[in-house]
Amino acid sequence: MREFFRQVLNILWKDLISEWHTKDFVTPVLVFALLVIIIFNFAFQPDGESIGLVAPGVLWVAFTFAGVLGLNRSFAREKERGCLDGLMLGPVSREAIYLGKVLGSFMFMFLVELISMPIFSIFLNLPLLMPRLVLVAFLATIGFVAVGTLFAAMAVHTRAREVMLPILFFPIVVPLLIAAVESTSLVMAGASWQSMASWLQMIIAFDIIFLVVSALSFEFVLEQ
Amino acid sequence: MKHQYLHWSTALVAVDFALIVFALYLVFMWVPSAQEEAGGIAQRIFYFHVPSAFAAFLSFFLVFLGSILYLWKRDWKWDRLAVSAAEIGVVFTSLVLITGPIWAKTAWLKDKTGIWWEWDPRLTTTLVMFFIYIAYLLIRNYAGERAQGARFAAVVGIVGFLDVPIVFMAIRWWRTLHPEPVLESGGLPPSMLFTLVTSFTAVLLFFILLTWARVGLRRAQEDVEELRERIGR
């Protein structure tokens, strides 16, 4: 068990170092997320009243689209340099590779969200950086990354891989997206914890189910 | 052996053809129209809408089952079952998504005009399911090597099937905040029930025959490919 976690942490460490040197994930994904907001602003032309209605959706669409981009990057760069084959040949279990990649992508994605939330709140004139919203983002991002890592590992082995990931990813994360958007609007409306509880439970349930299922099925994705 | 299969299936196709004709007679000539709130005459589409939905769910259960068994046993016959069921499931889901709005246009009234679509739990879940299994078929075709495609698709088949109930729950919670069109409630009168049971049997038998034929066709395809490889063409 200790050996397993050491492997997971090593894979995470490898991703952190590589990210530190290249900033391959965080920079483009952050820029992309901000651009989505700007595009939405032109598309919806929200005014003072309607902004509260569209903001949660805009926020999560931006995070989801940006997340797909990031998850694709995260595996594409492994593939480009033959890293993935090296990982698969190494004496590490597939579950360890999966968890290591999940942790890495989670950290980068969550960092992007933390940086973009204050910027969003300036552009949308809304107080977005609230502790409860950070909690929602934290929990929902776990689920996104859990499913996304599994599918990104598949997509990278296919033709048309850039488009394959969103096609696989979006239908599966529908429940997570609904729960994230709903709890975000509740937070922004200043609703009580009580009213958010069922949505948060749903996010947590999704996280647990798909972390377990994805970890178990990951060995079938990386097989050779 | 081959001959026996042919005989059986031919006989069953004949039986199902007769059943479908009988069901069509019941639906269009015999059964009384429903009350106005259920869509009146348009409600007759229900006798094919509901069995198609059932066949769609059944086929996705077969995809799930076939996917697990393929990953476990690595026997191509399970993969054949899974992919055949997925294709047919997509066909039946399309039927559901086409017949549903036609019925809804007359039955679900909002401000006195019918609506094609409502983001209600059942409709939305069916739509999401449709996209999950489209993804299942796409990943197979884009994965290149056949064994890899089968493995990737099997993972999607399993993850997708587990996701469907969660999608349904999420949308049900989400939609309780919004007004929902009133669906028919209470039991069906005996004549309608009889018609439904007949069309259900007809559609279900059709579904089984179709899946069977597709699996057989795929096996034949694989045989041809294998022979072709052996003679080096």
User: Which residues numbered 108-167 in A keep a CB inside 8 Å of some CB on B?
Assistant: 147, 150, 154, 157-160, 164, 167
Per-residue pLDDT at B189: 78
Give the model confidence (pLDDT) of A74-105 as tens digits: 888 888 778 888 888 888 888 889 999 999 99
Q: Taking Cα atoms as reference points, which of B61, B139, B48 lies closest to residue B94?
A: B48
Q: Taking Cα atoms as reference points, which of B25, B213, B125, B158 lies closest to residue A220?
A: B158
Per-residue pLDDT at A200: 92
Give the model confidence (pLDDT) of A117-146 as tens digits: 988 888 887 777 688 899 999 999 999 999
How many contacts, defined by CB atoms under 8 Å, are there between A and B? 86
A83/A98 Cα distance (integer angstroms): 14
* Count, residues in chain B: 233
Q: Summarize the confidence of residues A56-69 as an average pLDDT.
A: 91
pLDDT band at B6 (very low <50, low <70, confident <90, very high): low
Q: Hey, what amino acid is at B175?
A: R
Q: Taking Cα atoms as reference points, which of B87, B67, B34 lies closest to residue B151?
A: B67
Q: Hey, what amino acid is at A17?
A: I
DSSP class of residue B187? P
Q: Taken in order A173, A178, A179, A185, is the CA torsion positive or negative?
A: positive
Per-residue pLDDT at B182: 43
B225 Cβ partners below 8 Å, 6+ apart?
none
* pLDDT at residue B128 tops 60: yes
Residues of chain B contacting residue A213, judged by C-beta atoms under 8 Å apart: 158-159, 162
What Cα–Cα distance (Å) separates residue A146 from each residue in A108, A171, A207, B143? 14, 14, 7, 21
Better-predicted residue by pLDDT, B13 or A50:
B13
Residue A16, class by beta-carbon neighbours within 10 Å (0-12 exposed, 13-18 middle, 19+ buried)? middle
* Nearest neighbour of B170 by CB, restricted to A147, A167, A179: A179
Q: What percent of chain B has pLDDT over 90?
A: 35
Q: Whole-model pTM above 0.80?
A: yes
Q: What percent of chain B has pLDDT over 70?
A: 88
A182/A218 Cα distance (integer angstroms): 30
* pLDDT at residue A46 tops 80: no
Q: Summarize the confidence of residues B189-207 as an average pLDDT.
A: 87
B68/B54 Cα distance (integer angstroms): 21
* Nearest neighbour of A167 by CB, restricted to B138, B144, B174: B138
Which chain A residue has its CA at the smallest distance from B170's CA? A175
Q: How high is the mean pLDDT of chain A?
A: 88
* pLDDT at residue B179 tops 80: no
User: Which residues numbered 159-218 in A keep a CB inside 8 Å of some CB on B?
Assistant: 159-160, 164, 167-168, 170-172, 174-175, 178-179, 182, 198-199, 202, 205-206, 209-210, 213-214, 217
Give the model confidence (pLDDT) of A167-220 as tens digits: 999 999 999 999 999 999 888 888 888 888 889 999 999 999 999 999 999 989
Q: Taken in order B165, B171, B177, B183, is the CA torsion positive or negative?
A: negative
Q: Summarize the confidence of residues B150-171 as an average pLDDT.
A: 90
B60/B217 Cα distance (integer angstroms): 20
* pLDDT at residue B220 tops 60: yes
Contact A221 B174 (CB under 8 A): no
Query: Contact B132/B156 with Cβ under 8 angstroms?
Result: yes
Q: What are phi and psi of A51, to 5 degrees?
A: -60, -40
Pick the range with the lowest mean pLDDT from A30-39, B28-37, B190-199.
B28-37
How close B69 comes to chain A (CA, Å)? 13
How close B159 comes to chain A (CA, Å)? 7
DSSP class of residue B32? P
Per-residue pLDDT at B2: 52
Which chain A residue has its CA at the smallest distance from B124's CA? A174
Q: What six digits make up the tokens of A64?
A: 């989801």
* pLDDT at residue A45 tops 70: yes
How many helices (H) and strands (E) chain B has is answered by 6, 2
Q: What percent of chain A has pLDDT over 70?
A: 98
A60, A158, A181, best to mutate vs chain B, most B CBs in 10 Å: A158
pLDDT band at B15 (very low <50, low <70, confident <90, very high): confident
pLDDT band at B3 (very low <50, low <70, confident <90, very high): low
Q: Summarize the confidence of residues A1-29 as an average pLDDT.
A: 86
Which chain A residue has its CA at the smallest distance from B137's CA? A168
* pLDDT at residue A165 tops 80: yes
Per-residue pLDDT at A100: 92
Residue A29, class by beta-carbon neighbours within 10 Å (0-12 exposed, 13-18 middle, 19+ buried)? buried
Give the model confidence (pLDDT) of B79-109 as tens digits: 999 999 999 999 999 999 998 888 888 777 7
Q: Summarize the confidence of residues B54-58 as an average pLDDT.
A: 92
pLDDT band at A161 (very low <50, low <70, confident <90, very high): confident
B68 touching A (Cβ < 8 Å): no
